Amino acid sequence: MLRFLSDHFAFFRQFRETFESTGAIAPSSRFLARAMTGPLSKRDRPVRVLEVGPGTGAVTQRIVRLLQPGDRFDLVELNPVFANILRRKFDSDPAYHRVADQTTVHQIPVQEFVADQPYDFIISGLPLNNFPTALVREIFETFFRLLASGGTLSYFEYMYVRPIRKAIGSRPDRVRLRELEAVIQPYLRQHRTHRSWVFANLPPAWVQHLRPRLRGPV
């Protein structure tokens, strides 16, 4: 319970200080974590997993319980506070420590991350609706560069955020959100396999699951 409260306090503090890159007032619920890791839970062989924007580890906690011997797990987290929280968990939390020698936490922007092999699963908690259009385009290009053929990208977005913000936001924000949709929608049309609905989250969310049919960016 103390760790739960500590994680929520750290998350809320970072939300206040770095809203653009944190994007939520509380960590993801266990229901959202289960939806994000649904494809991973069905694998039948050793895999490589990349989590992007794990925050304090709400989804990470689910991932580490699904990892098996022979798997590789990398986490990319830009926020130094969150990265340190995660490293401490892999040092001291029994569930995390079990897979510590299979895992590395990288404090780096994902678009600068370089891997020696592609990933079977990429699970992203980045708040894309908060980012500039050019950055979102770069992030999606990075996802598909890092994703193996036949691999799965899973990311979430809060339900109806873009329509609501386009209706009530400032003109520059409405323009940015329209441009954002122009970047994201081609990926969804071409690569989405299914969408999970998660109402038991604050706020409720969709999880988008994509699998590349073509190598490289759309």
What is the three-class DSSP state of 198? strand
* Residue 3: per-residue pLDDT: 52
CATH superfamily of 2-210: Vaccinia Virus protein VP39 (3.40.50.150)
What are the C-alpha distances in Å from 134 to residues 125, 140, 177? Answer: 18, 10, 12
| Omega within 30 of 0 (cis) for the link into 203 | yes
Q: Where are the beta strands (DSSP E) in the chain?
A: 48-52, 72-76, 103-106, 119-124, 147-158, 192-198, 205-210
pLDDT at position 168 is 82
Q: What per-residue confidence (pLDDT) applies to 27?
A: 76
pLDDT number for residue 13: 52
pLDDT in tens, the chain (218 residues): 545 445 444 444 544 444 444 445 567 899 999 999 999 999 999 999 999 999 999 999 999 999 999 999 999 999 999 999 999 999 999 999 999 999 999 999 999 999 999 999 999 999 999 999 999 999 999 999 999 999 999 999 998 887 788 778 888 888 999 999 999 999 999 999 999 999 999 889 999 999 997 544 44
pLDDT (0 to 100) of residue 26 = 64
> What's the pLDDT at 179?
95
